[in-house]
Chains A and B, each alone.
Chain A
Amino acid sequence: MQPTYTKYYYPYVSPFDPCKPILKKSYPTPPQLYMGFQPPNLPQFNPKEALYHGTLWPSLYDEYNKKDYRGDEHD
């Protein structure tokens, strides 16, 4: 099963929080946390794609988006 590279938690919200609370907060859990020793013969990007992605292997690629697009939720 493919792990997700973004996780969420729901911080405690106090009735006295001065700022608008973040209800759902994301944190990154990038692919290297799950691979262990990299298995041989994984699928590869073509050379040009690899150059753009910063890795030869799609399974090590993690697209990091700005927080606004990561699913964090404000009140």
Chain B
Amino acid sequence: MWYYEKKLQYPVKVRECNPRLAKYLIEQYGGADGELSAALRYLNQRYTIPGKVIGLLNDIGTEEFAHLEMIATMIYKLTKDATPEMLEAAGLAPHYVNHDSALFYHNSAGNPWTAEYIQAKGDPIADIYEDIAAEEKARATYQWIINMSDDPELNDSLKFLREREIVHSQRFREAAEILKEDRDKKIFF
């Protein structure tokens, strides 16, 4: 189970009303390499992986939900007071007719989130390598969003999230090393 702390992992400030940025950020919300995919992937793989790395998947999967909240907050702030005309100008008219300014789990092209984005192969090495790849893809997505954004305060939060992807990738790489270790083997000198 989880305990909930009613605050964000890192503050989210948005300087200007820019619904177009929300359209890009939704990629990290309901996209293939987004935070929802990450959280569900790790928390699901936990059950069938050696005990030594269950805790890591648990902790990182939980943190991904904290990131999901930050992304949601960004998108919400960027669109909450936008008029239908402003949303239309930002290319969000199809979103508006379906959802008003509610958030929804789809990518920036409007494709709904699908479980096909994630995998649980059951082979510990295959699963951890997928997780490493997922972290690198999420890092890249943050880079491309930062490149498209000129909001310095929003970019500050995005840079924090990009850095967390780097740390997670490192931890998963360490998990791969743990899985590779010959623990039962006697050491001869």
A and B are interacting partners: yes
CB within 8 Å of A: which B86-141 residues: 123-125
Q: How far is the CA of A7 from the CA of B184 in the complex (A)?
A: 8
- Chain A residue nearest to B177 (CB atoms) is A33
Pair count A-B, CB < 8 A: 35
CB within 8 Å of A: which B46-62 residues: 50-52
Q: How far is the CA of A12 from the CA of B51 in the complex (A)?
A: 8
> Chain A 7-47, CB within 8 Å of chain B: the 1/0 string?
11111100000000000010111100110000000000000
Interface residues on B, range: 10 to 19
Q: A7 with B51: in contact, given A27-B123, A28-B125 (CB under 8 Å)?
A: no
Interface residues on A, range: 10 to 19
Q: Does A29 contact B125, Cβ atoms closer than 8 Å? A: yes
Contacts of A7 in B (CB 8 A): 50, 179-184
Interface residues of B (CB under 8 A from A): 50-52, 123-125, 176, 179-185
